[in-house]
Amino acid sequence: MEYICEICNYSTDRLFCLNRHKHSTKHIEKVNEYNKLSINNQKSNEKSSSDQKYKAKYLNLKGGTKSWLEQEKDLIEKLKKELPELILEKNIHLNEPFIELIKSATGQNIKKNITKEQLIKIIHDLSLRALSAIINGEKLGLLKKNKETNVDKAKMDEYIKDKKFTVSYSTIKNGKVNFNNHSDIYAIHSVGKVFTGFLVILMIKEGIISKNNLGNPIKLDKQVLNKLSNEVKKRLDETTLLDVMTHKSGLKDYLGNYFDGLSKGITDGNIPDLQEPEDFLDYADKDVVDKDKFHYSSLGLLLVGLSAKYYYNKHFEDNKSYNEILKDYILDPSNVKTFSVSMPKKGVYNKAHEIMKYTNGSPAGGYWMSSRDLRKVGEFIFDKCQDKNIVELLERYGGEFFKNNEIYHSGGIRHKEWSSTAEFYISLPDGTIVAIMGLGNSASNLFNAMKLCN
C-alpha cells in the first residue's frame, strides 16, 4: 500500500514513515508556505489552549488532575474495598484462572472454604496489575480503561520518579517517539511469545504452514520428540498445533526445572548456557494436565517455535535453526541491533536475584533487548498489519496475544517477589506502540497507569 503526502510530493509504503514525515521540518515548512496566516493563527490558539491544559494537567493545582501515583492509590483502595465481597458473592474464588493468578502473584493457594477476612488479607497484598487482571478476567467492570493508552511523557516520567523505578520505555504515537533509558538492555520474558506467534502468522500467510497443518497434530523433528517424555509425546499425538499455540494442550512447563538447574549450576560452578531452543527440552515437565482447558504453558510455546522450524525446513528443504528463521522474518526486517539469547555485558538485571544474570531466551520468551528495539519490532508488526489478510489470520489464530484489534503481552519472572517485568502493546486502530522493561514490577505498574490514569 502506498501512503502519500501531496503537499510535499512524498510517498512511502510504510505508514510510520508517513507519520514521521508529517512531523519533519520540511513538511512543516511546506505547510506554512501554503497557508502561513492560518497556521500562525492556529499556533496562537493552540498555545493558549496548551497553556490551560498544562496548568490543569501537570501542575496539580487545586481542582487539577491528580498525579498518576495519587490516582493509582485511589484505584487500589477502591478495589481492595469492593473486590473481596464481590469475589465471594460470584464464587470467583472457585475459578481456576483466579486461583492460578493468586498463586502466581502471591505464592498462596486459595482454599474453597476461604473466609472473607482471609480473602481481604490476600487482596490487600496484590498490586494494581494483579487486581486489574482479576477484574478483566472476570469482566467485573470495576475499572474503566482509557479509550487510548496514555503516552504522556511528562506524566510517565513523573510517575517513574515518584515510584523510584528502574525502568526503560519507548513509545510511539502519531509518529512521535517518547523514551526514557531506551538503550538499556533488559530481559523481555514472555513478550518473546509474540515473536513466535507472529512468525507463525507470517508463515501461514506465505503458505509455509497451511491451515490444515494448524488443525492437525503438531509436527516436530525426531530429535525434538526424542527429548520428551512418553506422556508428553502421547499428548502431542492428539493435540493440534493451534491448541498448543493457544494454551489448550494440557502441556506444562520447563521454567521451574530450568531455574532449578541454574541455581544448582551457580552453586556447582557449572552454569548451563542454553543457546538453541532444543537445549531447553532437557528441563521439560514429564507429565500433563487436562486437555482443552486453558493452561498457560511455556513448554507449549517452545514447541510452537520448534514446529515452525520443522515446517520451514521441510518447505525449503533447508536446515536452518529457529534463531536463524526468527532473524530472517522478524529481527532483520525490524532493524533490531540489541537482540540476544543471553544477557549481554551491559544487560540490566535484578542483583537480588543472581539467577536472572544467567537466564537465556527461547521461543517461549526470555530474550534480551532494548525497549527501543522492542518498539521497532512493534513498528514492523504494525506495518505488516496494514494487510487485512494478516489481521484476519491474527483474529483466527493469534488468540495468545491478539484481541480487540490490539496486540499485547506481558512478561516477568518472580522469585518470591518480582525480579523484573516487561510490557509490549500495539494498537492497530491508532498506531500506539508501547515497549517497557524494568526491575521489580515497574514495567507492569507503569503500563497499568498508562491504561487507567488520566
The full 3-state SS of 110-126, as one line of letters, equals CCCCCCHHHHHHHHHCC
Contact 310, 208 (CB under 8 A): no
| Dist CA 69 CA 160 (whole Å) | 9
Q: What is the predicted pLDDT for the residue at 55?
A: 37
Specify the CATH number of the domain 167-452: 3.40.710.10
Residue spans of the domains in the chain: they are 3-51, 68-138, 167-452
Residue matched to cell numbers 481542582? 63
| Dist CA 214 CA 245 (whole Å) | 9
pLDDT tens digits, one per residue of 152-169: 999 999 999 999 999 999
Q: What is the predicted pLDDT for the residue at 453?
A: 85
The full 3-state SS of 236-295, as one line of letters, equals HHCCEHHHHHCCCCCCCCCHHHHHHHHHHHHHHCCCCCCCCHHHHHHHCCCCCCCCCCCC
Contact 173, 23 (CB under 8 A): no
Contact 255, 298 (CB under 8 A): yes
Contact 234, 427 (CB under 8 A): no
Q: What is the predicted pLDDT for the residue at 118?
A: 83
The tens place of each residue's pLDDT in the chain, 454 residues long, gives: 545 665 565 556 555 565 656 656 665 666 565 555 444 544 444 444 444 443 333 334 333 478 999 988 888 888 888 888 888 888 877 777 777 777 777 777 888 788 888 888 888 777 777 777 777 766 666 667 778 899 999 999 999 999 999 999 999 998 899 999 999 999 999 999 999 999 999 999 999 999 999 999 999 999 999 999 999 999 999 999 999 999 999 999 999 999 999 999 999 999 999 999 999 999 999 999 998 888 889 999 999 999 999 999 999 999 999 999 999 999 999 999 999 999 999 999 999 999 999 999 999 999 999 999 999 999 999 999 999 999 999 999 999 999 999 999 999 988 777 899 999 999 999 999 999 999 998 999 999 999 888 7
| Dist CA 407 CA 399 (whole Å) | 10
Neighbours of 321 (CB within 10 A): 14
| Dist CA 365 CA 193 (whole Å) | 6
DSSP string covering 62-96, please? TTSPPPHHHHHHHHHHHHHHHHHHHHHHTTGGGSH
Write the CA distances from 26 to 5, 7, 18, integer angstroms: 12, 10, 13
Residues 6+ apart with CB under 8 A from 15: 3, 382, 383, 386, 431
Residues 6+ apart with CB under 8 A from 22: 5, 175
Q: What is the predicted pLDDT for the residue at 87?
A: 82
Q: What is the predicted pLDDT for the residue at 54?
A: 37
| Dist CA 226 CA 18 (whole Å) | 50
Q: What is the predicted pLDDT for the residue at 402?
A: 96
